[in-house]
Amino acid sequence: MKGAAQYRAVQRNSDNDYVTLHADLVRRIAHHLAARLPASVETDDLIQAGMIGLLEASRSYDAEQGASFETYASIRIRGAMIDEIRRGDWVPRSVHRRARDAAAAIRRIEQHTGRAAAANEVAAALDMPLHDYMRLMEDASRGHVLSLESRVEDHGELDTIAKGGPNPQQLLERREFGRELGKAIGQLPEREKLVLSLYYEQELNLKEIGAVLGVSESRVCQIHGQATVRLRGRLKAFQMVDSGLEDET
């Protein structure tokens, strides 16, 4: 991959204090992210991409902007890794499309019934066997690992940090989105809410969550996928479409 040559260039910059001191940060982020991704995503590829992100952060960091280097670099490193994953295009476009259809079906059902849509109801609305629907939720979860967290990269957080902070309109949009997201999460079915909490707040990987809940990793994927697709349907007004699930047509 092209990154390999760039990575070797990073290695030759051993005199760069930031890179030398924060190489372990790259590895920690890579292993944490890899634990949430399919086995086809190589940790070494993430580390290579992350080292490039670290080098770029070391060149552009401005301490006068207020953010610590580790905070700034973590965002750049994660962003570089996510870009690498996206270039791999490991989520089929059919998953993107069907996940959008599922989100729309959930939204229609919930608007009509005033309660959380059940899996069998959504499957029926999509004219899809329940087994196939649950498999779609599992695939959606694998593709949606970049959803809530990658919203940062997708909506210009890197630029606003580099430029000294978001503008008033961005701050307003983020506050409003945050309020609506919190409300939507609070209204999720309890098990979906728990999975999101363990995943995003406690930072457990899918296998660890399965151990906590006493279910398989595959089942955790299904619950996570159902939760994120449900949130997508409920937050349509905010166009909460993550590039991990968005069809690039």
In order along its 249 residues, the chain shows pLDDT tens digits of: 555 555 555 444 443 677 788 889 899 888 887 776 666 678 898 999 999 989 888 888 877 776 788 878 888 888 888 778 767 655 667 777 888 899 999 999 999 999 999 999 999 999 999 999 999 998 877 665 444 444 434 434 444 444 445 567 666 766 777 677 778 888 899 999 999 888 877 778 788 899 999 999 889 989 988 998 898 888 875 554 333 334 333
d(CA 189, CA 114): 13
Report the interhelical angle of 217-234 vs 168-186 (nearest 10°): 120
Q: In terms of DSSP H, where are the helices of the chain?
A: 2-11, 17-21, 23-34, 43-60, 69-88, 93-113, 119-125, 130-144, 147-154, 157-162, 168-186, 190-196, 206-213, 217-234
Three-class SS state of 47: helix
d(CA 30, CA 46): 6
Q: Is residue 107 within 8 Å of 234, Cβ to Cβ?
A: yes
d(CA 80, CA 49): 6
Please work out, in degrees rounded to the nearest 5, the angle formed at the alpha carbon of residue 166 by the alpha carbons of 165 and 170. 170
Residue in the structure block whose two tokens are 């087994």: 131
d(CA 125, CA 122): 5
Full set of structural domains in the chain with CATH: 2-88 (1.10.1740.10), 93-238 (1.20.140)
**Confidence (pLDDT) at 223:** 94
Please work out, in degrees rounded to the nearest 5, the angle formed at the alpha carbon of residue 62 by the alpha carbons of 60 and 65. 135
**Confidence (pLDDT) at 240:** 42
Q: What's the predicted TM-score (pTM) here?
A: 0.59
Long-range own/partner contacts, residues 63-69 (CB < 8 A, 24 or more apart): 65/161, 65/162, 65/164, 65/165, 66/164, 67/161, 69/18, 69/22
Q: What are phi and psi of 14, to 5 degrees?
A: -70, -15
Q: What are phi and psi of 17, to 5 degrees?
A: -60, -45
